[in-house]
Copies of this chain bind each other. A is one copy, B any other.
Amino acid sequence: MSPANSRDRELRERAAAVIPGGMYGHQSVGLLPDDYPQFFERGEGAHLWDADGNRYLDYMCAYGPNLFGYAHPEIDAAFVRQLEKGDTLTGPTGLMVELAEALTRMVSHADWAIFCKNGTDATTMALTTARAHTKRRIVIRAKGAYHGAIPWCTPRPAGVIESDRAFQVFCDYNDVGSLEAAVAEAGDDLAAIFAAPFKHDAFIDQAEPDPAYARRARELADRTGALLIVDEVRAGFRLSRDCSWSRIGVQPDLSTWGKCVANGHALSVMLGNDKARAAAASIYVTGSFWFQGATMAAALETLRLVRDTDYLERMTALSETLRKGLDDRAKAAGFGFRQTGPGVMPLFLFDDDPDLRKGFCWSSEMLSRGVYVHPWHNMFLCAAMTEADIAATLDAAEGAFAALKRQVRDLSPVEKLAFLSAGAR
């Protein structure tokens, strides 16, 4: 049973006329099952309502920004109070200083902060800061890792020219030898080593960071004078109240944050240590809305909740219940079902499913049971989820596995994902 979707269809038709391709970017449903909605109208806590009024328990959390629940009463009240006083003004408010103080107290490696709007702003500033600090050019990044969507890093090459990607060397995440080879290739021109806190590429299994890889990245940065940058935009505050790699004892020089730092209000951040301070002060970076007081008020309230509540322990415990429950139900139904990455940011893939036809079918069955999961991108838990939500998810999953079992022999290839099996051949 597919949910009612007449309003969504109407909006898609109108969008096709006034938005190129009808939609763009990571929230496009172009590569999702056809019954997934494109447009939403409401969010509250852990739930979303699409444009047709269908309600979902949302495991995407806006692709990360929703950490404490949509329309969080205290965070949004702090936002609105400051909006009434002053938001985008001719200078920052004192909240910018308070927020920089709060973040540098919370994140071990950080001595200072610079605020911006997009995650891409933060990663690009980090690249520029590293080049200014070292007076060198090359950045090492892991193949397939996402660090933003402008020409130097965007995953699709249309409109990108060769010079946009100059002075980049690629390694394999978690492969120490590959990292060492990349550092050797960079020679005396190495400015920075970029790293995601864990491997969270789309379409493939996720992987926790190998502590040996993280430590070697730190050592190689120290030996060469390059800066180590951990890109926390996606994972920040879901794995730790500190930089994620502090869990394995490795501190970066720079870290980049975004998505959930103001629980959905537009804010991203570059944090850095004293070594990189002069370089960060030397670059010219700015934006029309980078000093918004209301967003910073929301971030301060978000950080208060990070600091003073057990959100992380609760989310982690729920994620363990979810993982075990899904594992049991997949096994009972006879499916090889891989749940990879941290429990609070899981990715689900079926064995023997190169074009994701099983994943698409199962995800659609979850959607029709009121649970929004993603068939090929990592998901996100939020602190507004409850044990009852996890139980409802597991009930839906039991039904979805059973439904998949009934249909699995007759599933058609997923044409829009044919590029995946082509690539695998």
Where the two chains meet, the residues of A that have a C-beta atom closer than 8 Å to any C-beta of B are 7, 11, 14-15, 17-21, 23-27, 29, 37-43, 48-51, 58, 60-66, 70-71, 76, 79-80, 83-94, 96-97, 100-101, 104, 111-114, 117-121, 124, 127-132, 137, 149-152, 154-156, 158-161, 163-164, 166-167, 233, 258-259, 264-266, 268, 272, 277-292, 295, 372
Contact = CB atoms under 8 A, between A and B. Distances in A.
B289 A25 contact: no
A118 B121 contact: yes
Contacts of A290: 25
Nearest to A131: B159
A48 B86 CA distance: 9
Contacts of A96: 15, 19, 39
B26 A286 contact: yes
Top 6 nearest A-B pairs by Cβ distance?
A25-B286, A156-B284, A132-B159, A128-B159, A21-B281, A20-B281
B158 A167 contact: no
Contact of A284 (B25, B90, B121): B25
A39 B40 CA distance: 37
A258 B40 contact: no
Contact of A90 (B17, B40, B80, B111): B40
Given A14-B101, A113-B18, A117-B117, A48 B155 contact: no
A61 B37 contact: no
Given A39-B94, A132-B158, 15 more contacts: A19-B112, A27-B91, A37-B91, A42-B85, A42-B86, A76-B83, A76-B84, A79-B83, A131-B160, A132-B159, A137-B161, A137-B163, A154-B284, A158-B279, A266-B288
A240 B292 CA distance: 27
Contact of A66 (B88, B92, B278): B88
A92 B289 contact: no
B288 A65 contact: yes
A91 to B, nearest CB: 5
A286 B280 CA distance: 25
A224 to B, nearest CB: 17
Nearest to A274: B20
A283 B154 CA distance: 9
A354 B291 CA distance: 31
A287 B89 CA distance: 23
A380 B86 CA distance: 18
A92 B18 contact: no
A102 B23 CA distance: 17
A85 B44 CA distance: 8
Contacts of A120: 287
Contacts of A150: 124, 128, 150, 285
A17 B274 CA distance: 10
Contacts of A63: 90, 288
B161 A24 contact: no
Contacts of A112: 17-20
Most B CB within 10 A of own CB, among A49, A83, A91:
A91
A104 B18 CA distance: 7
Most B CB within 10 A of own CB, among A25, A58, A88, A233:
A88
B97 A14 contact: yes
B289 A117 contact: yes
A151 B38 CA distance: 34
Nearest to A286: B25
A157 B245 CA distance: 32
B18 A117 contact: no
8 contacts: A24-B284, A117-B117, A124-B150, A149-B285, A150-B285, A158-B282, A163-B163, A266-B292
Contacts of A101: 14, 18
Contacts of A89: 40, 43, 48, 62, 70
A9 B90 CA distance: 17
